[in-house]
Chain A
Amino acid sequence: MHENQGQGPQALAALQAALAAEHAAVYGYGIAGALLTGDNRAKALADWQSHQEARDTLEAMIIKLGATPVAASPAYELPFTVSGAGSARRLAAALEDGVTQAYLGVVAVTDTTLRTFGALAMQPPANRAAAWRGSTAAFPGMPSGTIPA
């Protein structure tokens, strides 16, 4: 008997989406970090490591549910051209936004434990996005300032 009985495919799909976002962030920070120097580079390295840890946590959760974790892609298309420190910082913020949004998807599942996991997991990327962008947001994770109806 699999341990995911009672949680359903919706929960598994949300976790897989969060894992895919973490894979993309790990890849993206490799690009951003290479274009940053000094404190920004150290910060990118710390954030990169945080995403690796989050990726490992999600993989373990998905395996525990009896499923195979989604694999990382060999490469990812960047949302815009990244060619210097400014665009590298914007990329880092965009990566964090993507991860925050993916964890917000986990909050939509019915299982309360997973909901709470998703809600807590979106706070570090929301904080990192604010740090890279230099400003907070009223509704982290909600696409383009919209909220669900």
Chain B
Amino acid sequence: MLAASATTLPLFAALSACAGPDPLAGPPPLSADVRSLLRAVTAEQNLIWIYKRTMASYSALAPSLGVLLAEHQAHVAHLRARIVEPPGKSVPDTVTSKPAVPGTPATALAQLRAAEQSASTAQLRRLAGASPSLAQLYASIAASEATHVTALTALGSQNPG
């Protein structure tokens, strides 16, 4: 049991006088890094959704696309690992963009390529203001997505019709 002493009472009084966080005021606003991470997670979820739908529509592409999909799933895992989730709450698993799968493998691959390029560019916009290690994570994911653009271009040349 903690007994009040000559040192604890003045300390308690001093702490009570501080303008600390108000527990009734609701959760504190999200930091810029967390808001940026949440947007990055959503962007990756959108890409994963397109990959899964494309693979379901064109099973012959699934082996090649599955490799790239797995890398996006790794991106999401590492991005989510940077966000401390409060008890009882988790990072939303939201997909905000669900484009239709185009009617041919070639156009479906072109859609994926455009989505990868757009995602890579968006990662670069997140660099400003990010902590150094988070900036490196965004840059690495942007580079991974740039290699996906190249891989999808090669795959598209093998599936011209």
Contacts and interface: CB of A to CB of B under 8 A. Distances in A.
B63 to A, nearest CB: 13
Interface stretch (A17-25, A26-34, A43-51, A111-119): A111-119
A15 interface: no
A137 B140 CA distance: 10
Interface of B: 67-68, 70-71, 74-75, 78, 120, 123-124, 127-129, 132-133, 135-144, 146-148, 150-151
Contacts of B144: 126, 136-140
Given A116-B127, A119-B142, A148 B151 contact: no
Interface string A116-145: 101110110011001100011111111000
Contacts of A100: 143
Given A118-B139, A123-B143, 11 more contacts: A104-B139, A107-B136, A107-B139, A108-B132, A112-B129, A126-B144, A135-B67, A136-B151, A139-B141, A141-B139, A147-B78
B139 to A, nearest CB: 4
A137 B141 CA distance: 9
Contacts, number: 94
A7 interface: no
A138 B71 contact: yes
14 contacts: A104-B140, A115-B135, A119-B123, A119-B124, A119-B142, A122-B143, A131-B150, A136-B67, A136-B148, A136-B151, A139-B141, A140-B140, A140-B144, A147-B136
A130 B137 contact: no
A126 B137 contact: no
Nearest to A119: B139
Contact of A138 (B74, B120, B139, B150): B74
A138 B68 CA distance: 8
B140 A147 contact: yes
A149 interface: yes
The 3 closest A-B pairs by CB, nearest first: A148-B133, A119-B139, A138-B71
Nearest to A129: B147
Contacts of A137: 71, 144, 147
A139 B123 CA distance: 13
Interface residues of A, number: 29
Interface string A86-124: 000000000000001000100111101001101110110
A141 B135 CA distance: 13
Contact of B133 (A108, A123, A131): A108
B36 to A, nearest CB: 14
A118 B132 CA distance: 12
A107 B136 CA distance: 6
Nearest to B130: A115
A139 B78 CA distance: 10
Contacts of A139: 74, 78, 137, 140-141, 144
